[in-house]
Structures are given as structure tokens and as C-alpha cells.
Structure 1
């Protein structure tokens, strides 16, 4: 089964949702058969990667609220994050562009490090106050998960993976994704938002059961018969 997760690294509910999904996955009986893929989504493609505008100021300007109201709003989100053991420090975050961060995750995927890179980007932004739009900081964070910092820095100076990021964003748009986080399971079911672990687990179980109907054993005379999905055959394991 494949789970595709459209998210952005400056989206608080994407990080909270990621943790809740991971909690569900830990309880899923077939977790070793789940492929998780992170897909690109930018909340603000026009954002300045070198901005020093605080999250509080950005929210106040965007939603027409006071700085105090912005602090109150983010405090509530921080409480939700704390409930899943994530420390949010909004006082250290700034508005930034995440296009290069998404390119970096594509680079990391080539080396089997996309999940580690995604987690480090989320933690870097929300917990450590890193500007995940700054290329120098991205190279440092990449090194922390085992990637070559020089290779990352060189990649970021090119347009490598730009088409891949744009393609995923367009694909998300075509699927009707207007906000994140957004989870697509086997291109059949979707879960929108940072839902509870129970919602994620129920969805995983539902898709799994549809893909793998349970076997039903019935007795027919002296013969043991195993039936599944409209097909029956003698159980050769019986002597």
C-alpha cells in the first residue's frame, strides 16, 4: 500500500499530522508493507526565502489580527503539538519560502533519506527556529541526516528537482488538494487535515481489507476447503 502525503515544512498541522499518522502506523498490523511518500505543496510560493518577518507579524498581516492575537493563536497550536510530544517555538520562526526544501527532499530520496530529511526540516523550523528557505542552513540540516553537505549545496545552486516539485504540486492541484496536510491512500481514499491516529488507522485497515479479503475456511463433507474472493480450492495442508 502506498500513502502519499502532500505537506509543507512551514505548516504546523503538517508536522502534527505527521506524528499522528506515525502513531497510527505503529499500531497497524502490516506497517512493514506500507510505502510512505512525501509530496510537495507550498503554502506561499511567493514568500521570500531570506525574510526576517516573524510568524507573528506574518499572521497579523495576513489575517488582519493583532500581534497579541497571533501569539494567542499559535500558543493554541503549540499545545496541540505538545500533545503529540513535539515542541513548537513560534517565537523563533520566520516566514520563508520552502521550494528549495522540497527540492532537498527529492535529493534525499535518491539516497533513501527522504523520511529523515522531512523530519529534520519540520523539527528544524518549528522547534529549532531554522530558516528552511536558506540554502546554507539546508545544507547543514542535510548533513545532520547523513547527506553530503557539499553535494547538497551544489545541487541547490542548480534547478535540479525543480520540475519534480512543480509536477507534484500540479498533481495535487489536479486531485483537488487545496490545503495540507492531505493524505492519499492507494489513490483510492483521502484523509484531509491532522486527524486523530484512530482515523488514520481506520483508513489503513479499510484499504488493507479491501485489497486483501480475509480467508474463510468452511467444511464440506470430509474435505477442508479454503474460499476467498469467489475462488475455492481444497486445502492441501490437510492430510
Structure 2
């Protein structure tokens, strides 16, 4: 069973959704038959419009809501995260280009370490306030997971990972995926958003029966 997951590293619902999917997989009796395939979907939050602003102000500006409403929404997401064992600190969140992080994730996938790396970067962004554009820091975290960045850089210089990212995003366009996280289970069932573990489990069971 294949589960394709379109996501971005600065998307709180993506981190939350990935966690809820894992909780569902913990109860899925065919867990050892499941392969997760992570696909890039850049939110492109690096711009002059977001520079120097906290996430509440960015959300307020983007969706035309008050700062208080944006903060209340983010507080709600943080509470939902706590309920599934995640620790969100929106006051530390730094938005930016996630291109390098996605490139490393594609390389990690070739080494069988993509889920481990993605979770580490998610934790860094939402719990520790790391700068997702900080090349030195991303490389440090990647090396801690045992990734050979000499090989990564050789492939990166050839544009291998940029091509993979573009392929993922082109596929999202063809599938009319407009929001993330977006999950496609075995090409049969679609789950959009950070649904409950029970919802995911039901979708997994239905897909498996098919």
C-alpha cells in the first residue's frame, strides 16, 4: 500500500496530519505493508510581504482577519498538536523558502531516511524555531541522521532535486491539489487536511479492502 503525502515544512497542518496518520498506522494491522511517499508542495512564504513579521501577522494579512483572530486560530492548532504529543511554539516560528529542505528530503528518500529527516525538520521549525533557510543548520541536522552530504551536493549541483520538486508540484497541479497536507492512499482514497487518527484508520482499512 502506497500513501502519497504532499506537504511543506512550514505548514503546521502538515506536521499535525503526519502525526495523526502515524497514530492511525499504529493501529493498522497491515502497517508493515505501507510505504509513505512524501511529495513537495512549496508554500512560497519567503517574500518582502512576510519579512520581519510573526506568523500571526502574516496570517492576518494573508486572510484578511484580525491579529487576534489569527492568534486564536494558531493557539487552537497548538492545542490540537498537544493532544497528539506535539509541542508547537508559534511565537518562535520563522517562515521562509523551504526549497533546500525539500531537496534534502528527496535525497534522504533515496537513503531510506526521509520520514526521519522530515520529522526532525518539522520539530525544528515548530518546536525549536529554527530558520528553515539556514543551510549550515539543515546540513548539521542531516549529518546527525547519517546522511552523506558530499553525495547530496554532487546531485544538487546537477539539478536532480529541483527536478524532483518540480515534478511533485506539477503532479499536484494536474490533480488539482490546492491545499496541504494532501494524502492519496493507493490511488483510491484521498484525505485532505489533518483529519483525526480514526478518520485516517477508516480510510486505510477501506483502501486495503479494495
| Structure 1 residue 57 displacement after superposition | 2.7
Deviations 1:49-72 (CA, angstroms, capped at 9, x unpaired): 995432123223212344443322
The structure 1 segments of at least 4 consecutive aligned residues displaced by more than 4 Å after TM superposition are 48-52, 149-158
Aligned counterparts of 1:48 and 1:63: Cα–Cα separation in 2: 16
Tell me the residue number matched to 1:42. Answer: 42
Tell me the residue number matched to 1:236. Answer: none
User: TM-score by structure 2 length?
Assistant: 0.91
Helix, strand or coil at the partner of 1:53: coil
| Structure 1 residue 39 displacement after superposition | 0.7
Deviations 1:122-157 (CA, angstroms, capped at 9, x unpaired): 111001101112222211221222223555566666
Helix, strand or coil at the partner of 1:3: strand
| Structure 1 residue 175 displacement after superposition | 1.0
Aligned counterparts of 2:70 and 2:136: Cα–Cα separation in 1: 29
Tell me the residue number matched to 1:223. Answer: none
Question: How much is the aligned-residue C-alpha RMSD, in angstroms?
Answer: 2.2
Aligned counterparts of 1:158 and 1:28: Cα–Cα separation in 2: 40
Query: Where in structure 2 are there 5+ consecutive unaligned residues?
Result: none
Tell me the residue number matched to 2:70. Answer: 70
Structure richer in strand, relative to its length: 1
Helix, strand or coil at the partner of 1:74: helix
Aligned counterparts of 2:57 and 2:157: Cα–Cα separation in 1: 30
Aligned pair count? 209
Tell me the residue number matched to 1:207. Answer: 207
Judging changes above 3 Å, is the alpha-carbon distance between structure 1 residues 197 and 170 closer, same or farther for their aligned structure 2 residues?
same
Tell me the residue number matched to 2:106. Answer: 106
Query: Where in structure 1 are there 5+ consecutive unaligned residues?
Result: 211-239
Is the radius of gyration larger for structure 1 or structure 2?
1
Structure richer in helix, relative to its length: 2
User: Residue 7 of structure 1 contacts residue 14 of structure 1 at CA under 8 Å; is this kept in 2?
Assistant: yes
User: TM-score by structure 1 length?
Assistant: 0.80
Bigger RCO of structures 1 and 2 (CA < 8 A, at least 6 apart): 2
